[in-house]
Structure 1
């Protein structure tokens, strides 16, 4: 059995970011930027006012501390100034308005008294440059605004929109073919007979892939014969990744590894020192990466987060932080393990004067009923059989 960190590193070594595509700005939320975004022009592109008020030349205050000035023109945002400032004159400006030539400061309207007509008396002693946004003050021309590898959030969409970037270069999302193995499985919508099981793994894995930035492709259920699996895998040629659940243990009808080897795939992982999820296959078949996850729903769920999620992130262009985040929390109840291998116990991470982990109990790999609201796994290492309530434990955050 290989240790979890060794398997994670081995998988990540086989993953490279996928090709680049251009998509519409409105479709880019959550995607990873494939090129740095550089501003062609200074930001701001022109001197403009940061306040509603009056654009002034400071020389007027040398004559009198509260000068009465004549308003030359009114400048709302978007209007081009027509008259440069001269001694004894000012311009009425609104926030964002272009500033006329000769402006040395903006006096906010709260420090002004309109005397009637086009006359205004200004109070206070303005500083040079106050309430002015000067050309290039925020960014110079040619400066990087968004670095390559940035996951696009609404903030980045706003920046891209300000640069009129309607087409955005992003890394392609991994296409993930998903299939379930087992004669006992029936698809959703069918009433299972005695001994049959509804296929819950496939919709779960599809949702996980979609949540984590991939494109799921449902391939259905494959029966427990090598020929059936070979036929279905032949329909996955366009996939970047293939995920199957079931068929990776040592039972008579567990054919996944044998089929992969028969097809010429390089099987790199067969078992992992973890619970749940010990039987886990990872292989490379040509350019396609293959994960054979256990059939037990919880084992499949845990295996996805630890072994598939990091690969999805790297393939989608994230430059780092591929593995799930880990942190320390205080467990609200005692945690127990057999100690034979690293154990991942599911539960909920909350904050109340510190992080707390609430285990959900009955940690059986077939007990999918308590997966609801799981957002973390507590980690007990090999040889560690107990963590008492109120003690710290390492947790993996989903």
Structure 2
């Protein structure tokens, strides 16, 4: 069996970003740049005032108070188009272009207005005071954003300021999602006597979208070779197929065998972790294939550790993992077996740092515990018994990466 880290490394090394497309700036948030953004203008395009006050020649203010004649005004979007001569000043506002001849701005608080046409400067002014020089942000032709940048609102602002209305981004990866099992029905559908609601499918759809993928939901496949064959055909053209269930060794766990007959090139199918040991990874033609366990918590933990980073790689992002935090155990734990364990836990701030308390019930079918957990305590293989107060590590369950 592979370790968790080895399995994730093999998955990520087998994937690469999908193709690119061009989108409008207004539709680019959350996407990943596939090409750098080159500024189409200089910002600011000229020397601008950083404050409300008066544009002056600094040499005219060497002797205080200095009386100056106000010859006009400059405001944002409408500058003063004549030169400032000796003995003159121009009323100026924040964001307005500096008129020719002026080399400083004296702030309004350091002046005294005498008439509409005259002002006294009361404090010393140095050349360059309160001026935003042309190009202090960027110049035309500068690379303002690099390829691989995940576009947040602040990046959108920068691209807009650079006068770039269209961006080249990595296409959203298409993820085919397949739940398998005779027992499964979708939420709200009629349940037979032994029916089970497919709770994992909707959760993974939400995670895929949160990671920037496009979900192609397939019909629930019965435990039949022909149903799985039809699903394999339906997933063609997608960048990755994610299956839920059928990955173990039971008589009705048919995913590995059925997809093998359809050309699945298997990389691995067992991981030394708990929950989540039976997990498949391989390639079905041009489509990467990730087979998650059927137990709900097993599937969701594996999706967090493997599917999410895989979608990041396909999207052109650096793969993201939940924040790994040092913590203090809030309860004793028995020794661990040969598989790395992920225990649902609550987190609480204490005098000695974060206290992670494992839930008493860790069965992989119990979704309520996972929904109410703040973190997953990580226990290495063969970890000895631990007492309350011992050091531990925990993965923070953080909605920002769709977990």
TM-score computed with the length of structure 1 as normaliser? 0.95
Aligned to 1:120: 119
**Can you list the C-alpha shifts for 1:205-226, whole angstroms capped at 9, x where unaligned?**
1111112221112112111111
Aligned pair partner of 1:342 in 320, 331, 340: 340
SS of aligned partner of 1:386: coil
> 2:24 maps to which residue?
24
Aligned to 1:365: 364
Residue in structure 2 matched with residue 171 of structure 1 by the alignment: 170
Hey, which bits of structure 1, 4+ residues long, moved more than 3 A? 321-325, 335-338, 348-356
CA RMSD of aligned residues (A): 1.7
Deviations 1:169-223 (A, max 9, x none): 1111111111111111122222323322111121111111112221112112111
Q: Which residue does the alignment assign to 2:66?
A: 67
2:329 to 328, 331, 335: 331
Alignment gaps of 5+ in structure 1: none
Task: Name the CA distance, whole Å, in 1 between partners of 2:253 and 2:319.
Answer: 34
Query: 2:91: which partner in 1?
Result: 92
Cα-to-partner distance string for 1:88-127 (whole Å, 9 max, x where unaligned): 1010000011111111110000111111130110111112
Q: Residues of 2 paired with 1:173 and 1:332: CA distance?
A: 41
Alpha-carbon distance between aligned partners in 2 of 1:351 and 1:315, rounded to the nearest angstrom: 36
Between 198-207 and 296-305, the greater mean CA deviation after superposition: 198-207
Note the C-alpha offset of 1:9. 0.7
The verdict on how the C-alpha distance between 1:365 and 1:117 changes in structure 2, with shifts beyond 3 A counting, is closer
Match of 2:219 in 1: 220
Q: By how many angstroms is 1:351 displaced?
A: 4.8
> Are residues 1:300 and 2:299 paired?
yes
Given that 2:20 and 2:169 are in contact with CA atoms closer than 8 Å, whether structure 1 keeps it comes out as: yes
- 8 Å CA contact retained: 1:105, 1:126: yes
Structure 2: give runs of 5+ residues left out of the alignment.
Answer: 398-403
Is residue 12 of structure 2 the alignment partner of residue 7 of structure 1? no
2:210 counterpart of 1:197: no
Question: Secondary structure of the equivalent of 2:220?
Answer: strand
Partner residue of 2:400?
Answer: none
- Whether the 8 Å CA contact 1:346–1:376 is kept in 2: the answer is yes
Match of 2:238 in 1: 239
Q: For 2:348 and 2:24, how far apart are their aligned partners in 1?
A: 37
Q: Report what 1:265 is aligned to.
A: 264
If the length of structure 2 is used for normalisation, what is the TM-score?
0.94
